Chain A
């Protein structure tokens, strides 16, 4: 895939998304939303796929969970990958399943040797089943867990080395985590080797009701500090497929495309932000 900017696809935007003339535009969807047997939703994704490259972003594999990946869920993901032939397939460094119960969230794990081993093994199982490498996204942090044995960046690099996966770096997650648990976002991004990055996510965040935590809410435009981090990151690692994520408070398609064109300009190296 050309390292261009894409947009999260929403059914509400179907007609405009199909008609969008932008060169190299691509779309990403949450894999779980399409894990159904048939019907109009899959037909719509077929139509999008005929026009544009696609990325499947999984939210439910629970890779950091204590159990192996759920075989039914893995089979459902494989069916989607086989049918839609996405350019990119990604998942989260998180857990969301315990004792047969699913939590519709991405829950955090301590970065221990044991978790590293489990994650690498689970990623290996998914990659073996799909017959391809996947991308793993860095989590958002709301809580400083105490039991870490690894820094986050060294943990991600080691995970990639052991499993052969690449990384999906969510710059907004880096900024939100830096605010919530206190680290330097610029230094964090500097520690990620260019060759490991297969995709970048950009999204908006909001301050919680009490004004203390930043929430990775995906319901607002990308903030200026995230644009600055992104510009600097891309200048170092080179053009990399970049997604504008938006889930809540959905604006018209053309407004999302304005943000997409900003990312595209940065990728093309023809926009200079104030240093």
Chain B
């Protein structure tokens, strides 16, 4: 029976390694395998689609006693999960600035995030850590320890990561909850008066954060 048990377990570990490559790098092969095996035994796959396996891994990591000294590891795991979700989300046309030509009632404009848009705010510099490892530049990583957000968008079928500041996070957070563009912009500007809201908005549109089907006044 051992051959079956081994195959089942290694299938789960391989799937976690594929979906959490930077967590695997941070922990090292041996530790990652032990951690993944424990996760797989506590949270086994419920669907045979292993491309999506590991949804509970980031939260599960947060509850592990050994991460007390490695707070950024669960944050990196959250980022990797957002990346997977963005990668496999439904296809849709992204909104382009030209589609907004002529709109002047920003308070009446509601936008929907593109189905592949994912973002979060993290209390560690996990976004920088993730980006550096993904690009093979972890040796050059010089960290200032501060909180930072991450945004994934998928214009033209390729997932693009962006480091998100507080203002960008506040704006997207409002839009996701259904706030209109004008109200989100005013709230963001009040909280972060140094922000150039117009350029924040156009950079979000240009990176494909919103769905084309969404403009409605």
Q: Do A and B bind each other?
A: yes
In the complex where A39-B89, A39-B91, A143-B1 touch, is A104 in contact with B49 (Cβ < 8 A)? no
Q: Is B146 an interface residue (CB 8 A)?
A: no
The stretch of A95-103, A231-239, A262-270 that contacts the partner chain: A95-103
Check A37–B88 contact: CB distance below 8 A: yes
Check B89–A37 contact: CB distance below 8 A: yes
Check A97–B48 contact: CB distance below 8 A: yes
Check B157–A215 contact: CB distance below 8 A: no
* A 116-149 contacts with B by CB, 8 A: 142-143
In Å, the complex CA distance between A142 and B3 comes to: 8
Q: Is A41 an interface residue (CB 8 A)?
A: yes
Q: Is B46 an interface residue (CB 8 A)?
A: yes
Task: Return chain A residues, CB-CB under 8 Å to B158.
Answer: 40
Task: Return chain A residues, CB-CB under 8 Å to B48.
Answer: 32, 59-62, 73, 96-97, 102, 104
In the complex where A37-B88, A40-B87, A142-B4 touch, is A105 in contact with B11 (Cβ < 8 A)? yes
Q: Which of B45, B88, B115, B116 contacts A41 (CB 8 A)?
A: B88
User: In whole Å, how far is A10's beta carbon from the nearest beta carbon of chain B?
Assistant: 13
* B 47-77 contacts with A by CB, 8 A: 47-52
Q: Is A208 an interface residue (CB 8 A)?
A: yes
In Å, the complex CA distance between A107 and B4 comes to: 7
User: In whole Å, how far is B74's beta carbon from the nearest beta carbon of chain A?
Assistant: 24
Q: Is B44 an interface residue (CB 8 A)?
A: yes
Q: Is A38 an interface residue (CB 8 A)?
A: yes
Check A104–B12 contact: CB distance below 8 A: yes
* B 15-60 contacts with A by CB, 8 A: 15, 44-52
Task: Return chain B residues, CB-CB under 8 Å to A215.
Answer: 3
Task: Return chain A residues, CB-CB under 8 Å to B115.
Answer: 37-38
Q: Is B8 an interface residue (CB 8 A)?
A: yes
User: In whole Å, how far is B46's beta carbon from the nearest beta carbon of chain A?
Assistant: 6
Task: Return chain B residues, CB-CB under 8 Å to A104.
Answer: 7-8, 11-12, 15, 45, 48, 50
Across the interface, name the chain B residue whose C-beta is closest to A58. Answer: B48
Check B51–A32 contact: CB distance below 8 A: yes
Task: Return chain B residues, CB-CB under 8 Å to A142.
Answer: 3-4
User: In whole Å, how far is A82's beta carbon from the nearest beta carbon of chain B?
Assistant: 16
Q: Is B90 an interface residue (CB 8 A)?
A: yes
Check B11–A36 contact: CB distance below 8 A: no
Check A36–B12 contact: CB distance below 8 A: no
Q: Is A43 an interface residue (CB 8 A)?
A: yes
Check B50–A32 contact: CB distance below 8 A: yes
Check A38–B91 contact: CB distance below 8 A: yes
Task: Return chain B residues, CB-CB under 8 Å to A143.
Answer: 1, 3-4
In Å, the complex CA distance between A59 and B115 comes to: 28
Check B88–A36 contact: CB distance below 8 A: yes
Check B157–A40 contact: CB distance below 8 A: yes
User: In whole Å, how far is A110's beta carbon from the nearest beta carbon of chain B?
Assistant: 14
Q: Is A213 an interface residue (CB 8 A)?
A: yes
Show 18 A/B contacts (Cβ-Cβ < 8 Å), sorted by A.
A32-B48, A33-B49, A36-B87, A37-B115, A38-B92, A38-B115, A38-B116, A39-B154, A40-B159, A43-B91, A72-B47, A101-B44, A101-B45, A102-B44, A104-B12, A104-B48, A143-B3, A213-B3
- B: residues with CB less than 8 A from A are 1, 3-4, 7-8, 11-12, 15, 44-52, 86-92, 115-116, 154, 157-159
